[in-house]
């Protein structure tokens, strides 16, 4: 019975506030930033957790023996980086504007979530550097044996000292 009376009072108060706004011909701006930030925070966290579970399951010996090398490599490298990106973005959304508040810095140290972002951010920046076209093309050529395709006449043995 108490819940019904509470709902009735809240509905009455809201209807009065709406009537006052209509009578005064004013509108209250609805800020959607908090709504989409919260939804993004939760969805990135759920997706990241799900992919971490998938990575954990595929790293089990019984599962990894069933997968081909190509499947295992794709899951562990590509999905691993995607998982890291999702979970890092989840943590960045968690501390959206908290890092600007001076009350967060107790004893002049940053909060734990900011310290936890250092290593994943460095890894993602280095991965971004490696997938840029100029670096990726060179790395792909080296992996395909580009360094071994030299002309044997052009390569001379290294002579460290002369024997006369």
For CA atoms 156, 162, 163, 164, give the dihedral sign.
Answer: positive
Residue 137 sits in which domain range? Answer: 35-145
Asked, for residue 90, whether it belongs to a domain, the answer is yes
Residue 18 forms part of a structural domain: no
Domain total for the chain? 1
Residue 162 lies in a domain: no
Q: How confident is the model at residue 12 (pLDDT cuts 50, 70, 90)?
A: low
Residue 160 lies in a domain: no
More confident residue, 44 or 4: 44
The answer to whether residue 155 sits within a structural domain is no
Structural domain includes residue 57: yes
pTM recorded for the entire structure: 0.69
pLDDT value of residue 2: 64
Task: Please check whether residue 47 lies inside any domain of the structure.
Answer: yes
Task: Write the pLDDT tens digit of every residue in 49-86.
Answer: 999 999 999 999 999 999 999 999 999 999 999 999 99
Can you give the three-state secondary structure of 110-151, one letter per residue? CCHHHHHCHHHHHHHHHHHHHCCHHHHHHHHHHHCCHHHCCC
- Could you report the per-residue pLDDT of 98-122, keeping only the tens digit for each? 777 777 777 878 888 888 999 999 9
pLDDT band at 88; cut points 50, 70, 90 = very high
Q: Is there a domain that residue 152 lies in?
A: no
């Amino acid at each position: 019975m108490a819940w019904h009376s509470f709902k009735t009072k809240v509905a009455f108060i809201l209807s009065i506030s709406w009537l006052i706004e209509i009578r005064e011909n004013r509108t209250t701006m609805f800020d959607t930033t908090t709504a989409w930030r919260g939804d993004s925070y939760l969805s990135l966290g759920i997706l990241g957790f799900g992919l971490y579970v998938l990575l954990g399951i595929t790293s089990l010996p019984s599962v990894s023996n069933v997968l081909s090398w190509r499947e295992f490599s794709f899951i562990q490298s590509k999905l691993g980086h995607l998982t890291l990106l999702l979970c890092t973005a989840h943590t960045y959304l968690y501390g959206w504007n908290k890092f600007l508040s001076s009350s967060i810095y107790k004893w002049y140290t940053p909060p734990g979530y900011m310290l936890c972002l250092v290593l994943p951010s460095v890894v993602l920046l280095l991965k971004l550097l490696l997938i840029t076209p100029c670096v990726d093309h060179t790395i792909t050529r080296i992996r395909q044996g580009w360094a071994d395709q030299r002309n044997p006449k052009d390569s001379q043995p290294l002579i460290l000292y002369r024997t006369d």
